[in-house]
Amino acid sequence: MTTAACAVTLALVPAHHTVAASARTPDKQPVAIGTGGAVASLDPYATESGLEILRAGGNAVDAAVAVAATLGVVRPYDGSIGGGGFMVLRDGSTGKITTINSRETAGSQVTPEHFLDPATGEPLSFTEARRSGLSVGVPGTVAGWQLALGKYGTMNLAEVMDPATMIAKRGFVVDAEYQARTQDNFSYLNAFTSSQDTWLIDGAAPKEGTVFRNPDIARTYELIARDGADAFYKGPLAKAIADAVTNPPVSGTSPTEVRPGKMTTEDLASYRATELAPTHSDYNGYDIYGMAGPSSGGTTVGEILNILEPTDLSGLSEEEILHKIIEASALAFADREAYLGDPDYESVPYKGLISDEYAAERQALITDAASAKPVASGNPWPYDGGAGVGLDLAANSPAGGQTTHLTVADNQGNIVSYTFTIEGIAGSGITVPGYGFLLNNELTDFSFDPKHPANAPAGGKRSRSSMSPTIVLKDGEPYVALGTPGGSRIITTVLQLLVNHLELGMPLPEAIAAPRISQRNTTSTELEPPLYNSPTVDALRARGQKVSQNVVMNNATGVSFLPDGTMLAAAEPERYHGGAAGVVRPTGAQY
């Protein structure tokens, strides 16, 4: 790795041990304006890796994979090669918007009864299901990287993974967020011998200010760099993944039974990432491109925007705007639960859900008073050219899964908005022994109750996701790209970022920093403290809205394209200790 800011000086120490930090971390700032390319992520090491690739002549796709690989080292509990994700990208040479689907799949032996307790016939608790091999889907991240690079990149896996590999070898300075995530998920990590060996230092979380090394992930990255995705999906590594799922390396300290999962080496060898057409909706002259199934993000964000579009939000008070958002979100989430699943297994009325005609039908249900929630789903099928059935499903997985998001743009018009994950923070808690990465708990995004077939488990099926990477064009030209982690709150956060930036005129950094709400067709709407403790909450209650306080929501990143031809990269200023934004050639301008 050539970037001096990421170099650290270390004495020789045993694998995974830490020493006191003696070198500075890369610069960390939430906003950067300039030219030549822009990167925004949750971590300064990752942002610097992306900038390094751009400076070396790589494009936005090359840089995005470099950022993602580095996040797998320095933010391993959020997203890594043990999981999957969704990438929305713009090809600068053609202007085409496309998407890469690297969502995890269920093993071929998985059935709709996957999460039922054999002894009782009842669904397992979420915690017991998660801390087990049952929760692990076939990872898709590496296949997604290879597909994106092969079709739209200019560098190979070896080149773009090199910055992350060097950081894994040399080490990185542990920050407060890394220490907190380790401590908060100690019970998951401590339940498996391989995770104890990889992530814990003398049985505890690494301390802020020390340097942490992960030579196992470095060797894994070198293997993938040398042999491509086949190194992950075939051979010894694939066998190690399948073995960890079917025979988890338990330590004997788990507070719940650790159940074996269902995955074979054939499941890994047959995995394929796919390229899909994006969702597209028009909002007040902006073209909004998002992710289609098995993500529910593009359709649900699009439906909410379509419901809101007839209203001039810029002329309303804060309380009136939030009331409209709450009501529109509840209606769209009711439809999400009823209709969204893996389109390879279920019929999904995509066209109907984001049609203006259906939005008008749903918008007509909104009054000045709060609706009783949860609300019922509607029927988009007449606007989709056919007849179908909505199932009015109950939400299954908790809202708080973490995930990670990055946004990259280059000076050739290539843009990447990429959200990837291992689902919960630390995923299943299972580390592949000797390979240095955690396995996902993505199958818990399926409905545990087999009576809900649209999102019920099945062999080879992908579970419904909320990930909502987004690219926005205006008059055919790039305007903004953004996204966020955060479970099902991803959708409500992306929605508010777009409303704040496109409708209310906030610069992207202000749109990201603004306090948020989340209504997902539940009895109460969550508010962050600045809103919950403001007079606005009294006005919402006067309308009949039920509200509750949520401490913090998500950590978004984005890139906006300014009228003077410069790019503005923006990350969280404070949430989760903030993110990191950078540009290739800073101009020193202020937004």
Task: Show the 3-state SS of 383-415.
Answer: HCCCCCCCCCCCCCCCCCCCCEEEEEEECCCCE
In the chain, where the domains are located: 310-398+479-586
- Quote the crossing angle between the two packed helices 141-152 and 157-170, to the nearest 10°: 130
- Of 70, 82, 79, 106, nearest in space to 401 by CA: 79
| Bond before 294 cis per omega within 30 degrees | yes
The pLDDT of residue 11 is: 32
Q: Does position 8 have pLDDT exceeding 90, yes or no?
A: no
Distance CA 466, CA 298 (A): 9
* Confidence label for 16 from pLDDT (cuts 50, 70 and 90): low
Q: Does position 14 have pLDDT exceeding 60, yes or no?
A: no
pLDDT in tens, 365-419: 999 999 999 999 999 999 998 655 544 443 443 444 568 999 999 999 999 999 9
Mean pLDDT of 578-584: 97
The pLDDT of residue 9 is: 31
Q: Does position 12 have pLDDT exceeding 50, yes or no?
A: no
According to DSSP, the β-strands at 274-276 and 279-283 are unpaired
The pLDDT of residue 426 is: 94
The pLDDT of residue 388 is: 58
pLDDT in tens, 220-275: 999 999 999 999 999 999 999 999 999 999 999 999 999 999 999 999 999 999 99
Distance CA 435, CA 431 (A): 8
Q: Does position 590 have pLDDT exceeding 90, yes or no?
A: no
Tokens describing residue 78: 């959020």
pLDDT in tens, 509-526: 999 999 999 999 999 999
**Pick the catalytic residue: 99, 403, 525, 566?**
403
**DSSP conformational letter for 43:** -
What percent of the chain shows pLDDT beyond 70?
A: 93
For the chain, percent helix, then strand, then coil, each to nearest 5? 35, 20, 45
Neighbours of 453 (CB within 10 A): 15
The pLDDT of residue 205 is: 96
According to DSSP, the β-strands at 525-527 and 547-549 are parallel
Distance CA 35, CA 11 (A): 38
Strands of 397-492 (E only): list them.
Answer: 404-410, 415-421, 470-474, 477-483
Q: Report how far apart, in Å, the C-alpha atoms of 395 and of each of 185, 257, 441, 521, 555 are.
A: 24, 24, 17, 9, 23
Mean pLDDT of 290-310: 96
Q: Coil, strand or helix: which one is 230? A: helix
The pLDDT of residue 216 is: 98
The pLDDT of residue 102 is: 97
- Which residue in this structure is represented by tokens 């990269």? 569
What percent of the chain shows pLDDT beyond 90?
A: 86
Distance CA 538, CA 531 (A): 10
The pLDDT of residue 393 is: 41
Mean of per-residue pLDDT scores for the chain: 92
Q: Does position 341 have pLDDT exceeding 50, yes or no?
A: yes
Q: Report how far apart, in Å, the C-alpha atoms of 514 and of each of 400, 472, 555 are.
A: 19, 20, 12
Architecture of domain 310-398+479-586: Orthogonal Bundle (1.10)
Q: Report how far apart, in Å, the C-alpha atoms of 341 and of each of 349, 353, 359, 401, 540 are.
A: 10, 13, 20, 18, 33
Contacts for 97 with CB less than 8 Å, ≥ 6 apart:
88, 89, 90, 91, 278, 280, 289, 471, 473
Residue 486 host element (H or E): none
Q: Does position 346 have pLDDT exceeding 90, yes or no?
A: no
Distance CA 43, CA 25 (A): 10
Residue 178 host element (H or E): helix 176-184
- Do 164 and 461 meet the contact criterion of CB atoms below 8 Å apart? no
Q: Report how far apart, in Å, the C-alpha atoms of 493 and of each of 96, 300, 379 are.
A: 26, 12, 25
403 is catalytic: yes
Neighbours of 134 (CB within 10 A): 25
Q: Does position 586 have pLDDT exceeding 50, yes or no?
A: yes
The pLDDT of residue 197 is: 97
Distance CA 80, CA 432 (A): 12
Q: Does position 5 have pLDDT exceeding 70, yes or no?
A: no
Amino acid type, 475: D
- Do 463 and 342 meet the contact criterion of CB atoms below 8 Å apart? yes
